[in-house]
Structure 1
Amino acid sequence: MNVIVVGAGIAGLSTAWALVRRGVAVTLLEQGPVPNPLSASGDQHRIIRRAYGGQGGYQRRISDAYAAWDEMWDDLGARHLVDTGFLLLSQEPGDEGERYRTGMIAGGYALDEMSGAEAEARYPFLDGQTLRFAAFNPEGGVLLCREIAAGLRDWLRARGADLRERTRVTAIDRAAGTVTLADGTVLTADRVVVTAGAWVTQLAPDLAPTLTPYRTAVVYLEPPADLKAAWAAAPVILDVGGKVDGYVLPPVPGTGLKFGAGIHKYRNADANANRLPVPGEGETLRDHFAPPFARIAEYRVTDVVTCAYTFTADEHFFVRDDGRTVFVSACSGHGYKFGAVVGQKIAAGLLSGDIDMARIWLEARD
């Protein structure tokens, strides 16, 4: 079997990795460099965590995700995961912080719960008076995206995969299993896997009703000098509570302090458009986080990075088998933590001829 993979974000790289491990000939096509700073996987770091709100299927599947990452670390000879644990914050009844806590309790996973005052004492960057509660779990951390992409790129090439950077795909014939490149070259394979992220609807416009591209951004901040040590030792903050759908990644070695807010997104059909930050965007993002953070105006914006994701209406992964072509998409940035196991499941489905098995696992409705 030979397979063409379109898109070298984490899903594409992991699919290529899992196929090459099984002796499959792989051609991996990426429109930019690898890692691509414009891709959903191109930023400094991403969260991995057990908590998943009401989506118990994904909460349970994190065990398989960790196992798949461990297999990848063995192949790469390096562990690109920093274990920080994760923190949940709640500001008002029924907010996402509370939903995450409820899901963890329902799943039988222990949490170290604390009052707002106790949370502020432990994490002095918090304003404890704005919090109903905080809860910590040690099973979570930070995945180092750039190191993972570069490591997989080099591993694939060393094992004979045909990885082509700066190679744009303009058309796919799903039934024939052919891919047309921007220079007119036509490539053919037994199977084609499309992991093109927010660019997928440009190659498959009929998927637009199901996969909606959005543009969002994250901001990197320098905290006040007296809080830098606290942030350097901080866990991932999975949700800050309230209405902003906010999350924070601590500045583990080689990365910065990153804030992102789910409310800071809008539909963007062309994933290449609107990719430059607008003036004041970093400050706007930063200011969403007061509360629950104290002295937020003292945090200096050092960088703003735009992101492009696809979203599904029910926030589950998407897999469609069409002719000789398989389309694979996560919902928003949540897909990164499952990257290695996504590749394993898609590879297993291709080799067994049972893509539906992979779809059922990735949709995680059980």
Structure 2
Amino acid sequence: MRVIVVGAGIAGLSTAWSLAKRGAEVTLFEQGPVPNPLSASGDQHRIIRRAYGGQGGYQRRIDEAYEAWDEMWADLGEKHLVDTGFLLVSQTEGDEAEEYRDGLVAGGYPFEELGPEEAARRFPFLDAGTIRFAAVSPEGGVLLCQKIAASMKRWLLENGVDLRENAKVAAVDVAGSVWLENDEEITADHVVVTAGAWVLGLMPELASELTTYRTAVAYLTPPEDLREAWENAPVILDVGGTVDGYVLPPVAGTGLKVGAGIHKYESAPDENRVALEGEGEQIRDYFGPPFARIAEYSVSDVVTCAYTFTEDEHYFAKSEGRLTVVSACSGHGYKFGAAVGRRIAGGVLSGDTDAMRIWLEARD
């Protein structure tokens, strides 16, 4: 079977990987280099975690996500996952950190709850006076995106995938054809679009179901006396309060990254990609509280990102004729990347794309 994959973020790379392993003839198009620094998969690192609040379907799918990553590490001959564990920090009653904790309780997953003083003793970057409780679990960690993409690129080329970088697809159709910007037409038995935030450029009719947002993350340099604490910290899934904030520690050569869910607005993926003056400091300041001495953290870099969102924040998947479109919703995308690729490949090769869609939407 000949399959074209459009977009070489983690979903496209993993789909090409899984298709090639199952004997398909794969052509993978990417509009930029691999990894592409403008894509959500091109940043330094992303979180994998169990806690999911009210979205129990995704919480239960983490087991398969880990299994798929393990299969990929075996193929690549190297593991690009740092097992840090994860931390939740609640500031106000009923905040998202508390919802995540309650989801762990409901699922019967292990964690340790800490009072404010104990949390600040164990994690000295926290201000005990601003938090209600913390919860820590050994399960979870940091996926090293750029290293994964580089290793995947090598594996795909070594295993017969026709990977075409800097080849932008201008159009697709349900009959199994894609057209490049130079008007070249390529046909296959099936086309899979995993173009991330650029999907509406190919399929504007999906605008009623997908919305593209621009956001940004900041990389910080902590005070020197807190550097070691951060280097040994778990990922922080939520810092509580109202900012929907998350933190990735500086591990394996990465930086200390902070991002906030409230820091986003609607935008086309190629627009507003330059960080604004003072934007890094604005993102940093969302985190004080619960971090102590936030003004002592300097901003080393600001990276803009573009994501698609569905209204209910579940994956989007749709198949028609010889065309399948899959789009992740915000941060769901990366942690499930290897499993998503396996599911897409299975659906395309078997013809059962409904089962693929049901798994991706994770409503059960």
TM-score (norm 2): 0.99
Instruction: Give distance in 2, aligned partners of 1:325 and 1:232.
Output: 44
Q: Deviations over 1:148-189 (max 9, x none)?
A: 011111100011110000000111112x21000011100000
Instruction: Give distance in 1, aligned partners of 2:172 and 2:250.
Output: 41
Name the Cα RMSD after superposition. 0.5
Instruction: Give distance in 1, aligned partners of 2:27 and 2:48.
Output: 28
Please show how residues 152-231 of structure 1 align to structure 2 within 5 Å.
Answer: 152-174=152-174, 176-231=175-230
Percent identical among aligned pairs is 70
In the alignment, what sits opposite 2:288? Answer: 290
In the alignment, what sits opposite 2:362? Answer: 364
The size of the alignment, in residue pairs, is: 364
In the alignment, what sits opposite 2:274? Answer: 276
Q: Deviations over 1:284-304 (max 9, x none)?
A: 000000100000000010000
- Whether 1:330 and 2:338 are equivalent positions in the alignment is no
In the alignment, what sits opposite 1:258? Answer: 257
Amino acid at match of 1:350: V
In the alignment, what sits opposite 1:306? Answer: 304
2:345 to 347, 356, 359: 347
Q: Deviations over 1:309-360 (max 9, x none)?
A: 0001111111100111000011002210000000000101111110000000
Instruction: Give distance in 2, aligned partners of 1:162 and 1:333.
Output: 28
In the alignment, what sits opposite 1:146? Answer: 146
In the alignment, what sits opposite 1:69? Answer: 69
Amino acid at match of 1:287: D
**Aligned-partner SS, 1:275:** coil
Instruction: Give distance in 1, aligned partners of 2:70 and 2:109.
Output: 21
1:7 Cα shift?
Answer: 0.2
1:254 Cα shift?
Answer: 1.2
Q: Deviations over 1:22-50 (max 9, x none)?
A: 01000000000000000011100000000
**Aligned-partner SS, 1:41:** helix
Amino acid at match of 1:180: W
Instruction: Give distance in 2, aligned partners of 1:188 and 1:49.
Output: 38
Please show how residues 105-116 of structure 1 align to structure 2 within 5 Å.
Answer: 105-116=105-116
Instruction: Give distance in 2, aligned partners of 1:173 and 1:73.
Output: 34
Q: Deviations over 1:166-224 (max 9, x none)?
A: 000111112x2100001110000000000000000010001011110000000000000
Instruction: Give distance in 2, aligned partners of 1:99 and 1:67.
Output: 26
**Aligned-partner SS, 2:41:** coil
**Aligned-partner SS, 1:271:** coil
Instruction: Give distance in 1, aligned partners of 2:59 and 2:288.
Output: 29
Instruction: Give distance in 1, aligned partners of 2:178 and 2:270.
Output: 21
Instruction: Give distance in 2, aligned partners of 1:322 and 1:259.
Output: 39
Unaligned runs of 5+ residues in structure 1 are none
1:256 Cα shift?
Answer: 0.3
Q: Deviations over 1:112-149 (max 9, x none)?
A: 10011110000000001110000001110000000101
Instruction: Give distance in 2, aligned partners of 1:90 and 1:308.
Output: 28
Instruction: Give distance in 2, aligned partners of 1:24 and 1:352.
Output: 12
Amino acid at match of 1:169: V
**Aligned-partner SS, 1:150:** helix
Amino acid at match of 2:329: C
In the alignment, what sits opposite 2:34? Answer: 34
**Aligned-partner SS, 1:35:** coil
**Aligned-partner SS, 2:171:** strand
